[in-house]
Structure 1
Amino acid sequence: MSALVWITVVSLAAWGWLLLCQGFFWRTDVRLPGRRDPDPWPSVCVVVPARDEAAVLPASLPSLLAQDYPGRAEIFLVDDGSTDGTGALARELSRRHGGLPLTVGSPGEPPAGWTGKLWAVRHGIGLARARDPEYLLLTDADIAHAPDSLRELVAAARTGGFDVVSQMARLRVQSLWERLVVPAFVYFFAQLYPFRWIGRRGSRTAAAAGGCVLLRAETAGRARIPDAIRHAVIDDVALARAVKAVGGHVWLGLADRVDSVRPYPRLGDLWRMVSRSAYAQLRHNPLLLLGTVAGLALVYLVPPAAVVAGAASGSAAVAVTGAAAWAVMAGTYAPMLRYYRQPPWLAPLLPFTAFLYLLMTVDSAVQHYRGRGAAWKGRTYARPEAVADEG
């Protein structure tokens, strides 16, 4: 057999393994688990870190203010050095809409060793501690919640005994590039962190979705959150790992009524979203980078290349094997497209999107070695230093 046939067979075998042995990551039925109303309802403080979010707050903050929660709940929005009037707008929205009490705070610039978001979260949790809540809801400023979102999250946490209940907010999918890139982003995330494995007690797989994280306050204290993860660029995964490290139980699934209102209309917007943290995901390790590039090429690029090469050379074995791998790939992607209400004809285009992600990952490494690191909202985290544990 030729080398191309062997490579194509390995690609097909990889897809067989992904289909059956990677936690059924491609299924989209992991939603909030069965739940019942607690009696009494525990108190909750909502912490919203916000930096230059005036454009999205009118679509997101009113949804938090309007939460239909039977227990005591309060919102703490932390204005992280905004220059667009985020804090003033939040106060005005609170006056206009009423609802849950809102406190707007400002922590100042983060000290060395802290990311801006986690410094803001620390300030918000500090303000919330005065209310002695049982749960903290950490949610981003671009996330809109259905009126019963908080109620459902708390009921699920109480019923299942979870220390973290996190939902992957449904991202906006309107522009052409959003349609091509966004569903694949969630698909790849689930492939790395299968949701079924995360929720299994004793499993080492840990992840959360930073846009919507309900966290037991007592567990946050034991896990020293956010201090223990203060330098993490991918803070949601770091948070879940910290919780599991102290014996906490984490649940992550797809959301039905929690949505991101942030637009990513151009490829450049999506490129920056992915590349700012892609190399951090690989722990800034060049060997992991090489392995990731090779893996993406083998799994996603070989099947369509084999179909073309097999047809051009007259090799039926190469063409058929490549087509079979491509078909399995598209089949596993179809449920995510349905979840995002996208047409099925986008499924065979996944190799093109995977190639974009390969380039984004390489670009992330290039930016790191140029000293630019992860850049977001006017801040750059060049080369993360090791942060010593606090006693």
Structure 2
Amino acid sequence: MHIDESFFADPHGMYARLRASRSVHRVTGPGGAAAWLVTRYPDVRAALQDPRLSTNAATSHGGDYQGLPLPPALRNDLLHLDPPDHTRLRRLVAPAFTRRAIERLRPTVQAHTDTLIDAVYPAGEADLLAALALPLPLRVICGLLGLPASAGAQIASWTDALLIPGRPHAILDAMRQAEAQLRDVITHKRRHPADDLLSTLIQARDADDRLTEDELVSLSFILLAAGHDTTASMVCNGILALLDPRMHWERLLARPELLPTAIEELLRYEGPLPLAIRRFVTEDLELGGVRISAGDSVLLSLASANRDAAHFPCADEVVLDRTPNPHLSFGRGTHLCLGIPLARLQADVVFATLLRRTPKIELAVPASRLTWRPTHRTRRLESLPVTF
């Protein structure tokens, strides 16, 4: 079976059929490399926490998987390292992403959200992806790292290059540009440090030698890239799920206290990441009743696990007050998403503000006319036209 970009245009029906037959399937994954696709919730959850599954292809003999054509300096990031290096890097960044630290950003996130809505509300219609879902997390992550807001467009272009399938030369060119520009920014920050995360990381590199220069560049890049695209997808997908059918929006209007559980349900129902980052087997193991050999690669379907009816009643429906809701959209284990508090904060501010300021919001076109971006890396619409 071939898992390509077209598969992710409408994956949920296919995942249901795969789960019904068995949990683990031999597939040709995105990019053409063979892999084991894991679809049922218990097996995906267990695999996310299994230390025998590494995210580092270089050290775990990733077989014929080539990966993204990244410059060497951009390969030393949190996504592709195992402990102890992963632990060391994560410990340096984690204090900036605690719930208490992130909550201090709420007034800033609220101000950005209001400004973006102010810009389009008078027209009575907007593409909420372009007008709100994309620019908001860019502004937030740039502010957290200490980059000017003008850097947002450049960061978005780097990330877009990563998400366009079948263009390795374009990816490599964009990543070389990203590396060069980040090195320039780091040089400037060394001379002019400020109260921001990038200055803190530079100090860790220079004063305590806890980061190599390449790790500093790579960590900066992954924080920027992951800090905006997945959040944009989360917000965009969530708005669509609430408006199609609109009864979900009406229920939240009537019961806004449901918003925290609603956000978790929207993450479960249509999370931004269809697949966890590819894993590589470091020693023979059994998963879902299938024997998998060392050196093989494994694709863990978060989207499929989150719709597993054996674990979630009414799995293909939005249940705004679903509790408990142990979805896997943020992963688990060592690679549990670092930015969970920041993603939740932005979702809370966006949805609460839209409920308050745009209660009559509706889709401007039938949902059947909306198209999904043709990439397996994040699941997001091409656009989200609405009327107010």
| Structure number with larger C-alpha Rg | 1
TM-score range with shorter-chain normalisation?
under 0.3
Compute the TM-score of the two structures, normalised by the length of structure 2: 0.26
Structure with greater strand share of residues:
1
Which structure is higher in RCO with an 8 Å CA cutoff and minimum separation 6? 2
